[in-house]
Structure 1
């Protein structure tokens, strides 16, 4: 649909500038509109979608880019000398920008989110784990390129296969929660795209999504997503981060059987214990949907 729309706009612009009689008009116009609507426009849509979804904002942005493309096309077609050079430069810019925007799409989207306030909320994770008690009351679990500190009440489970290690938390002999550690590599979608997908999934399950995204430190950004049922009970907590240095991510997925203070405190301690190590960016990580 996008290609058909672009082709229509290029043809209309070609007729509009027909009197200029440039033999390279269609090439120049096509390159300008290609950059605008295949490279720039998708990121504009993404920016609006993660910040303030609005049909009005989309319409205004589309009109602005259209007018800007027409104006730039008109100015380039009007150049009387070096017409072939202008056409070659326009086409070259189109190819370079298209390839770059496709190759670095996720990186660009993450940068847009970082620099437009997507992670501007306050860190909601308050409870740190106590380093002094880690030797006798906690143990370390290393998964891919990160490690976490877990209370001794967490017990490792392997019944779902070698790639699906998970933990169960039992207090007074009763099952209280489950932890599913996951990771993502550099090929994953931008973090806001993942968050939106999870929020949509939560809504499909007729639950409320409580999402807070924040900056954890200079290079790490994170989101906490809580699934809350109709009784206002938290049924699931996901913590997902983005390490901009390694372009890898961590996900801790907690399934809750109760909302006792001790359990919510332990979950925050586990999250705050995450230590990211320098790992292999191409490591084999589970897709976020595999545990849904």
Structure 2
């Protein structure tokens, strides 16, 4: 006992306590079954988003595409594409580049997506409630003022990301104590305050969008997507409210997998809830995609 030696951090003692063994380096790799599943899911959902965009472009002159703000629908679909792909930054061996890109890619693309939903929601409310001739809100709608929500909200998130990267950026970190016999390679968030500021801003934006959409859910039903927007934001908020406690109760590969799953689930919620009903009418019920159905 007088000759006992503590093993270094990168090693651990065998069961007999006679020698030190090398700890295995672990991270969420592309070769792992879990990693492969998440990668395939992200690529499939990205391909589905591109297909939906193709359907909308092909049928861009039909009433259902025009009635739901064609330009904002394009922006939302284009922003959802990198939302799915940004999850790939969290898979594989962490390095300085991926750790730095993670908060920028995640924060910006999701802010663009959520702010686009907010712009669509405000457009619906203004179109149904403030369309009397001469009203100021009607002039704002005609001028496309709701579209300025997207760059304004994105600029705030970009500023928060810039402050984060300028003060305490994310970096590659190793955890040799959480899991016996393993060294967990992860991306340390750097400034925890900056991380929660960015996530809190995105959550506030999502909650505000949900509130506006919920208040507009009982507007006239003809081609009014307020109910679909409400449900999509309900799914989005539910995913990220569930994410926080689960994220803090896990370690290693499972923690990263939870993060990736939340990204994919929330993006899929926006894609499915908003665009699935429209694609169904366009592809399966073209008889409903006409002006007579719009105004009746």
Q: Which has the larger radius of gyration?
A: 1
Select the structure that is richer in strand: 1
- Whether the TM-score (by the shorter chain) exceeds 0.5 is no
**Which structure ranks higher in relative contact order (CA pairs < 8 Å, sequence separation ≥ 6)?**
2
What TM-score comes out, normalization by structure 1 length?
0.25
